[in-house]
Amino acid sequence: MQGLDRLPDRVFAFDEFGPLGIRPTMGSGWARAGHPDRHPATYHRTHGVSYFHGCYAIGDDKLWGVNRRKKGAANTLAALRSIRAARPDGALIYVILDNLSAHKGETIRRWAKKHRVELCFTPTYASWANPIEAHFGPLRQFTVANSNHPNHTVQTRALHAYLRWRNANARHRDVLAAERRERARVRSEKGIRWGGRARIAA
């Protein structure tokens, strides 16, 4: 896409991350040696799930979004409006997103045309081509891994706390390392999706 190279401050990305359930989740932590974190077993899923609707400004390297109970055209449109508000001068902007049906309904297309938002859909089975995907890895590592949130409210607070910290520390070594790991994972998925072979551990 030409805008990505010539006008990065006019290029954004959108996608949903989830589903996010309420359950103990394994992962690395900062427990003292000899005192590992222990999470309880859970057999019931009484809280339902949510989805993080994420927006990413490529030029500014800023990530933001909200949690919603489900995917849908109305929630997609709300995200697109927040992206448009990030560049309120009315100049053309580009939004990269996958071709999920909830992303490209007639209402969304009419709104995008009226507000000078060009929707740039990734090919089918190629969501790895969306730049926001690499940022979902750190989001998972810092808010979901090694967690035991009691409800969606607490989970959402943790997620937004990470977003505030991440946008103030976008070049932090831990953030960059997590992004590199996620890009490597995404690239391996790309190879499998397009006829490559999964690597088998010895």
pLDDT in tens, 45-58: 667 888 999 999 99
User: Hey, which residues does 64 pair with through a beta bridge?
Assistant: 55
The total number of residues written for the chain in this structure = 202
pLDDT tens readout for residues 116-144 = 999 999 988 787 789 999 999 888 888 88
pLDDT band at 22; cut points 50, 70, 90 = confident
Collapse the DSSP code of 142 into the 3-class scheme (helix H, G, I; strand E, B; otherwise coil) and give the result: helix
Mean pLDDT, rounded, for 52-79:
94
Computed over every residue of the chain, the mean pLDDT equals 83
Closest CA to 17 of 184, 191, 182, 194: 182
Tell me whether the omega of the peptide bond preceding residue 40 falls within 30 degrees of 0, making it cis.
no
The structure tokens listed for 195 are: 């006829």
Q: Could you give the CA distance from residue 114 to residue 22 in angstroms, rounded to a whole number? A: 39
Structure confidence at residue 34 (pLDDT)? 60
| Packing angle, helices 106-114 and 73-86, rounded to 10 | 10
Of the candidate ranges 37-41, 67-71, 194-198, the one whose mean pLDDT is the lowest: 194-198
- % of the chain residues with pLDDT over 90: 48
Q: Beta 49-57 vs 62-68: how paired, if at all?
A: antiparallel
- Is residue 109 predicted with pLDDT exceeding 70? yes
- pLDDT of residue 151 exceeding 90, the answer is no
Q: Which string of DSSP letters, residue by residue, matches 94-130?
A: EEEE---GGGS-HHHHHHHHHTTEEEEEPPTT-GGGS
Residue 155 reports pLDDT greater than 50: yes
Confidence of residue 161 (pLDDT cuts 50, 70, 90): very high
What would the mean pLDDT of 83-109 be, rounded to a whole number? Answer: 95
Report pLDDT for 15.
95
pLDDT for residue 89: 93
Q: Which of 15-19, 37-41, 93-97 is least confident? A: 37-41
Tokens read off for 127? 């969501």
Pairing label, strands 117-121, 62-68: unpaired
> Closest Cα to residue 142, out of 119, 175, 190?
175
What is the DSSP pairing of strand 117-121 with strand 93-97? Answer: parallel
Q: Which domains does the chain have, with CATH numbers?
A: 2-26+46-193 (3.30.420.10)
Per-residue confidence (pLDDT) for residue 200, from 0 to 100? 43
DSSP string for residues in 176-190: HHHHHHHHHHHHHHH
pLDDT of residue 36: 55
